Amino acid sequence: MTWRRLALIYLGLLAVSLMSTRFLPDPPLALSSGIAPITALTIHAAEVIHRDLRYIARQRTLEQNYRRLRRKYTALNAKYLRLRIQAAREKAAAQIRNLQSPGLVGIAQVIGVSTSPLLARLTINRGSADGIHRFMPVTVPQGLVGQVVQTSRKQAEVITLVDPRSRVGVTVPGLGGQGVAVGRPPGELEASFPTGLALKVGDPVVTDSLGGVYPTGIPVGTIAQVLPPPPNGILQHVLITPDVNVNDLEEVAILQAL
C-alpha cells in the first residue's frame, strides 16, 4: 500500500518537475547567494589543497626524475669510462701493430710487481688459457717491457728488461752492430757493443734479432752514459735509460714469439 502511495507521489512530483523544467526560468542567483560564502570558502580551501597536492606530486615527480637521471648518468659515465679505456687499449694496440709487430696476441693488465728490490718482474692477468706462452715479448707503445718467462692458466710472469737476469739483443739504428743489454736494477740497462762503434750519449737503442726472442726495431731506451773501455777489451759498455718505466705500467701488450 505504501509503495503504491509512494509511486503516486512520485508521479505527482514528476509532473511538477516536468512542468517546472519546461516552463519555469532558471532560478535567480539571489537564491543561491545565501550559501555563496560557504561554498566560496570551501572552494578556496579545495583549491589550496589541490594546489598543494599538485605541488607535492610535482616535487615527487621531479625527485623521481632526478634519481632516474642520476642513475642514467652514473651508468653512462661508467660506460664512457669503459669505452675510453677500451679506446686507449685499441689505440695502443694499433700503435704496437704498426710500429713494433703485427703479431699482437692481446692486451693484459699488470696485476702484480716483484717485491724484491733486486728483481724487476711483473705479473699479468693473462695466462696459457689466453694463448700466452713463454718467450713472448711484452711491450707498450713507448717501447719494450720484457718477455714472458712463466705462465699459469690465468696469469703470466714477465721479466722486464731491467731485471738482472734479462738479456736483450740491441742495436743502435744507423750505426749497426749488435749488442746485449743486461738489466741493472733499479732502472737501467748495461749494454755491451763491439768496439769501433761511435756510440754517444743520447743515441737511441732498439731491439735486434740477436737471441731470436724479440722482433727488431722495438725501442729499448737511450744511451745515458758511455763507460770507459776496459784495457785490452774487445767490447765497449754503455748505460741505457729505458724508454719504459716498468714500475709504472698498468697494461702491457703481448706479442707473438718469434
Partner 1 sequence: MLWKGILFFLVILAIQGPLRYLLPPGFGPPDLFLLASLVLAARVKPVWGLLAAYGLGLVQDLVGHGLLGLHAIGLAGAVLLYYGLQRWLGRHTLLQETLGLLAALLGQWGSYLIVAAWLRDGLITPHTLVTIFPLEVLATLIFFPLVQAFARWAFGELAVPEAQQP
Q: Which residues bind partner 1 (CB under 8 A)?
A: 2-3, 5-7, 9-10, 13-14, 16-22, 24, 26-27, 29, 31-32, 35, 38-39, 41-43, 45-47, 49-50, 53
Cβ at position 56, least distance to partner 1 in Å: 13
Closer to partner 1 by Cβ: residue 2 or 115: 2
List of residues 6+ apart from 59 with CB closer than 8 A? none
Angstrom distance (rounded) from CA 151 to CA 160 = 15
List of residues 6+ apart from 26 with CB closer than 8 A? none
Phi/psi of residue 233, nearest 5 degrees: -80, 155
DSSP state of 26: P
Cβ at position 30, least distance to partner 1 in Å: 10
DSSP state of 28: P
Cβ at position 63, least distance to partner 1 in Å: 20
Place of cell 705500467: 249
Place of cell 743520447: 202
Cβ at position 125, least distance to partner 1 in Å: 57
Cβ at position 8, least distance to partner 1 in Å: 10
Give helix then strand counts, H and E, for the chain: 3, 12
Closer to partner 1 by Cβ: residue 37 or 212: 37
Closer to partner 1 by Cβ: residue 25 or 231: 25
Closer to partner 1 by Cβ: residue 36 or 111: 36
Angstrom distance (rounded) from CA 149 to CA 134 = 5
Cβ at position 29, least distance to partner 1 in Å: 7
Closer to partner 1 by Cβ: residue 45 or 111: 45
Closer to partner 1 by Cβ: residue 29 or 198: 29
127, 153 in Cβ contact below 8 A? yes
Amino acid at 166: S
